[in-house]
Chains A and B, each alone.
Chain A
């Protein structure tokens, strides 16, 4: 398996523009997580899904952020409009049926810079 695939790897955009980050989970993994990492706040959980259904979105910073998982093989994290403080590395991670003892597999991240 190719692992968790995220795109784009790098994105530079201007304030006010819409940003869409994409994630392809490992096949058969029924949990998907979106994390954000900054120097100031470290790794923060934004939202996670189980069987394509959002379970906990309490980490989503505000209404400008939205996440969807239309099917088991694809998820998006959208920021509209983007602001400079959204600059961060966004990670997608997935968890398989092993459940509580299973490991999370992380993608390589999408580095977002908002000018």
Chain B
């Protein structure tokens, strides 16, 4: 699987936007970009995914660079509940269905 690079940790203030970056310079044309997060003492949960176009859902937005070598997960207004480890994962369109998790970005949200 192609590799992703994320900062180890980030801090944000409550009610401010948060931009979580992810580099994936070796992404292939058929790789989807998935984001999951893991709240303390819970299993990972799906956040969002995309292929080429920017995506929005009720949880977050995903901005994908034009060359697809990087992406940014955007939390529009961080809450204390958003404190978690965020994982950026590439998933090929065909073949293996499993996700390979890296070390992710630990987001701390200050009140």
Interface of A toward B, CB cutoff 8 Å:
4, 31, 33, 35, 42-45, 48, 50, 55-56, 91, 93, 95, 99-101, 103-109
Contacts and interface: CB of A to CB of B under 8 A. Distances in A.
A44 B44 CA distance: 12
Contacts of B102: 42
A97 to B, nearest CB: 11
A103 B43 contact: no
Interface in B84-111: 91-94, 96-104
Q: Is the interface of B mostly helix, strand, loop or mixed?
A: loop
Contact of B43 (A48, A50, A56, A108): A108
23 contacts: A33-B98, A42-B101, A42-B103, A42-B104, A43-B44, A45-B99, A48-B97, A50-B97, A55-B97, A56-B98, A95-B97, A100-B91, A100-B92, A100-B97, A101-B32, A101-B49, A103-B46, A104-B36, A104-B46, A104-B99, A105-B46, A106-B42, A109-B42
A100 B98 contact: no
Nearest to B101: A43
A99 B96 CA distance: 10
Contacts of B92: 100
B interface, size bucket? 20 to 34
A93 B101 CA distance: 13
Nearest to B91: A100
A55 B96 CA distance: 9
B45 interface: yes
Contact of B100 (A45, A99, A103): A45
Interface of B: 32, 36, 42-46, 49, 91-94, 96-104
A93 B46 CA distance: 11
Contacts of A50: 97
Given A56-B98, A91-B43, A103-B49, 17 more contacts: A42-B102, A42-B103, A44-B101, A45-B98, A55-B97, A91-B44, A99-B97, A100-B91, A100-B92, A103-B46, A104-B44, A104-B46, A105-B46, A106-B42, A106-B44, A108-B43, A109-B42
